[in-house]
A and B are shown apart, each in its own frame.
Chain A
Amino acid sequence: MRRHSLQHDGEGRLRHLLTTEGLKRQQIVDILDTAESFISVSDQQVRKVPLLRGKTVVNLFFEASTRTLTTFELAAKRLSADVLKINIDTSATVKGESLLDMLHNLEAMQCDMFVVRHADSGAAHLIAQHVAPHVSVINAGDGSHAHPTQALLDMFTIRRRKGEFAPLTVAIVGDIKHSRVARSQIHALTTLGVSELRVVAPKTLLPADVETLGVHVFHDLDEGLRDADVVIMLRLQKERMQGAMLPSEGEYFRTYGLTEERLEAARPDAIVMHPGPINRGVEIASSVADGPQSVILEQVSNGIAVRMAVMSMVLGRAPAEGEGA
């Protein structure tokens, strides 16, 4: 089935990274191991390795982002790649040039990798289906579908803190319905085989049939946090209030917001994560976000190593048979 192996080449190696769904366990472990080797690069005096010298990476961001864009840019630069950022607001798509026309133009300029963020689910798949054979695509977030590098850096952070995945109970709290991060985390965590994976939210913020992803559903935060080893809080978009999904920010914080008191239900050594940007006092109290159990800033710095790992593995691959060099 060709469509199911879009992100793999003929030899089962990653050609694109579009989603964590369908990644093999060993593939995730390889990415995390490679990332581990890059952690030291960031600590060196000269923070560069020549792995991608002569390669060109294009950041194609159709949706605003500071953190993800910056870490991708840093990751590419530390691998010695040339980095180009396309500001989509002023680019051709608004002038009626289609997404694919624009891509083909960039390809003609000999780019090797597109890092794509787009507001529509499936955008990265579409691009991956149509790029030239020598070009790789990294999904930096598409609609509510996937954000695989974020999920992988979260796995990396969990592994550094907790070691093994098998004994862990992980609770993901908040707007699962609209969260590409949550979807990618769920696929990664079920592949890595955590002991229990929970989602905690009111029904309005849960997609229908979410159990089919292999999660346990909780509507009560205290129950959902009980004895958890890892607590992942998701950002709540303000628009959710207008869609009649929630009564108010205040009620949300009182019901699902993570405070020091609520966190006591989890294990004493539980870590608190958040993909950012944080809405302090909406989904998480400042005292928790900045508290001793928070690994939120660690996630950000790990993001560079994990993205370096993904980029180097995807672009550093010897071409598979039948694939243009």
Chain B
Amino acid sequence: MNITIQHGRLIDPANGIDTHTDLHIAEGVIAGVGEAPNGFEADSHINAEGKIVCPGLVDLRARLREPGGESRATIASETAAAAAAGITTLACPPDPSQPIDTPALVDLIRHRAKQSGHCRVLPLGALTQGLAGQQLAEMRTLKQAGCIGVSNGLQAVESTAVMRRAMEYAASQGLTVFLHAEDPWLAAGGCAHEGAVSVRLGLTGIPEAAETIAVARELQLIEQTGVRAHFCHLSTARAVRMIARARYDGLPVSADVAAHQLYLTDMDIGYFDTQCHVRPPLRSQRDREGLREGLKQGTINAICSDHQPHGADAKLAPFPASEPGISGLETLLPLSLRLADEGLLSLSEAIARVTRYPAEILGLLESGEAGSLSVGARADVCVFDPEPYWELRAEALVSSGHNSPFLGWELKGRVDCTLMAGELTYHTCD
């Protein structure tokens, strides 16, 4: 099946392209940009006039809840939401209900994702068995089963010695370690940023130091072990500066931020808005500015959804007892585009943060598996209309999780169609 996407504005940050041109797809791979290659004949055309054509989005972190949490969401429901959001590749971290510490679990997730066919799902394997932070997971076996990296999810590896061994072993197997930097003791029992808002509301605070102390420890261990490491969902300005310095010193670390952290602060909790209960917590305005600055400078490479779909009950509880997390897939692109509207990033740079850079972090860019529209690369493409304003409404979300603090927000930019390896996984009309 050959497809030509015509008349669009093609933005491919990995190749430095931002121009009005055609994109040709043959047998699931990019066949050419601009003039059709010799002998190429399109079986179908997509008219992208007035639209932007970019690589399919790559989301570094989305929970799909399956297996184990099917009452909240399934791989089918969430990958469909991903496709509707222009996402063609997503990484799924382990968590206690699906620790991804056996090849069987990896197979199951990949199989279900393949069956539903909406989005490529890349499981991150466990760093320690059962995420208990004691024994190393069978990382080599997990890699062979298809894990592209390892992580302990949101579970802390309390023992510094175990973390060191885990990094050493991961480095030996050529695996990137994805880190949630949070000191478990300082964060214990906390549900909001420790500061003026938590004082007022009588909520147990999670201090800034819970993140910076963990970042400091991990940076030391990364340097010592030589592992390739990635810091997930940073929340503090100080941690951003620590990572900038480490990078300057030549440490191979990357970092991402959850889209909601770029827009919300602890003030948005107002009087106990449980939709703003997230982990790591929404922090101060100063932190939000620090995260934005880090993104602009490139210290923070990528923006992710940190998608956590919940049923309605999860948020219908007193704030500390409510479940943390936001259903974020469908706001990833519009919130990223808004950064360009606000002048923080250029449009091409904003797109790069959800395509090229996350693909690079997952090791998929060079091989042409994701993140670019290079000739010969997999034809993962997102076509979106950058202009329309629309209001985020719960009932219009494709995800099973309707938990979002952005409900009622006016967002700009809508996905028209998504192609994964040249196959339409989502389209609005025709």
Contacts and interface: CB of A to CB of B under 8 A. Distances in A.
Interface residue tally of chain B, by bracket? 20 to 34
A291 interface: no
Interface stretch (B130-138, B190-198, B236-244): B190-198
Given A3-B273, A4-B270, A143-B318, A122 B205 contact: no
Interface string A94-136: 0000111000000000000000001011110110001000000
A225 to B, nearest CB: 23
Given A99-B317, A120-B320, A122-B318, A209 B201 contact: no
Contacts of A99: 316-318
B75 to A, nearest CB: 27
A121 B320 contact: yes
A183 interface: yes
Contacts of B270: 3-4
Interface in B99-121: none
Given A118-B318, A209-B195, A126 B200 contact: no
A21 B196 CA distance: 14
Contact of A126 (B195, B198, B317): B317
Most chain-B CB neighbours within 10 Å: which of A4, A21, A123, A126?
Answer: A126
A144 interface: yes
A212 B204 CA distance: 16
A121 B207 contact: no
A145 B202 contact: yes
Contacts of B320: 120-122, 143
B321 interface: yes
Contact of A142 (B199, B204, B205, B318): B318
A6 interface: yes
A64 interface: no
B273 A121 contact: no
A207 B199 contact: yes
Interface of B: 194-196, 198-205, 207, 270-274, 313, 316-321
Interface of A: 3-4, 6, 18, 21, 98-100, 118, 120-123, 125-126, 130, 142-146, 180, 183, 207-210, 212-213
Q: Which 7 pairs from chain A and chain B are nearest by CB?
A: A144-B202, A145-B202, A122-B272, A120-B318, A122-B319, A123-B318, A212-B196
Given A121-B203, A180-B202, A183-B202, 12 more contacts: A6-B271, A18-B271, A99-B318, A120-B317, A120-B318, A121-B202, A121-B319, A142-B318, A146-B202, A208-B194, A208-B198, A208-B199
